[in-house]
Structure 1
Amino acid sequence: MERLDPAIADRLKRGPDGLVAAIVQDDETERVLMLAWMDDEALRRTLSEGRVTYWSRSRGEYWRKGDTSGHAQYVRSVAIDCDGDALLVRVHQVGAACHEGTRSCFDAGGQLPAHRGEEP
């Protein structure tokens, strides 16, 4: 069985559940589409197959975006943040990214009221 490259695995800081946050961004528009979770195997599959694979915390299984919905995500790039506890996955998104049918999961949740700070 293939494993995630140790040079990459050593840079990741996983939570107690072995997962790292994956922020998904549209490569063309730079819009944030969703947040999901990956373990080493999901990241290995994502890097080697060119389609994004996640770990579903609710179902306890791997899922490749678009296999059932047809709304696939094709990898354009993957970056690790400075702390190693988050990934930025830039994708070519086909169709909706959200299971609610919207382009972004942040469309379905709506805006929260927040005080807008002034720049100094």
Structure 2
Amino acid sequence: MSNWLDAVNWNSDGLVPAIAQDAQTGRILMMAWMNRESLQLSAERGEAVYWSRSRGKLWHKGETSGHIQKLHEIRLDCDEDVIVLQVEQLGGIACHTGRESCFYRILKDGTWQTIDPVIKDPAEIY
């Protein structure tokens, strides 16, 4: 029996993009990177674990903020090179800016405009 992780088309750095999506609303909350270990840990724990490229280490989402992502489902796209995590975002905040989603700006009239409010000041989170 082959390992399910072998089906993933990892990039040259051994990573795959992972999109976290709210399992209830379908809203895209964030995008991060996963390596083989983080994807396996996510499946085992039932909580999102990513690979932090800037820190060069595993990042259990919510380890500092408490904003854990409980996994409902892990999906692999048709090209086997993108993961979608259906999650329950504990605390309702996925973004380090204190917002529900990292995708809180829209392009309007040639400028990026912030449309989502800060739910909690990041200074109170970290």
TM range (shorter): 0.7 to 0.9
Match 2:94 to one of 97, 105, 112: 97
Q: Match for residue 21 of structure 2?
A: 25
Q: Take 2:2 and 2:27, find their aligned partners in 1: how far apart are those partners? A: 31
Match 1:58 to one of 54, 61, 74: 54
Match runs of 1:62-77 below 5 Å? 62-77=58-73
Whether the 8 Å contact between 2:19 and 2:85 is mirrored in structure 1 is: yes
Match 1:43 to one of 15, 19, 39: 39
Consecutive unaligned residues of structure 1, counting only runs of 5 or more, are 115-120
One-letter amino acid of the structure 1 residue matched with residue 13 of structure 2 = D
- CA shift digits 1:3-41 (9 cap, x unpaired): xx9431221111111000001100011100000000110
Aligned residues: 108
CA RMSD in angstroms, aligned pairs only: 1.5
Runs (4+) of structure 1 exceeding 6 A deviation are none
Q: Match for residue 112 of structure 1?
A: 107
Asked if 1:10 is matched to 2:6, the reply is yes
Q: Take 2:8 and 2:107, find their aligned partners in 1: how far apart are those partners? A: 31
TM-score, length of structure 2 as denominator length: 0.81
Consecutive unaligned residues of structure 2, counting only runs of 5 or more, are 110-126
**Identity within the alignment, %:** 45
One-letter amino acid of the structure 1 residue matched with residue 101 of structure 2 = S
Considering fraction of residues, name the structure with more strand: 2
TM-score, length of structure 1 as denominator length: 0.85
Q: Take 2:69 and 2:5, find their aligned partners in 1: how far apart are those partners? A: 23
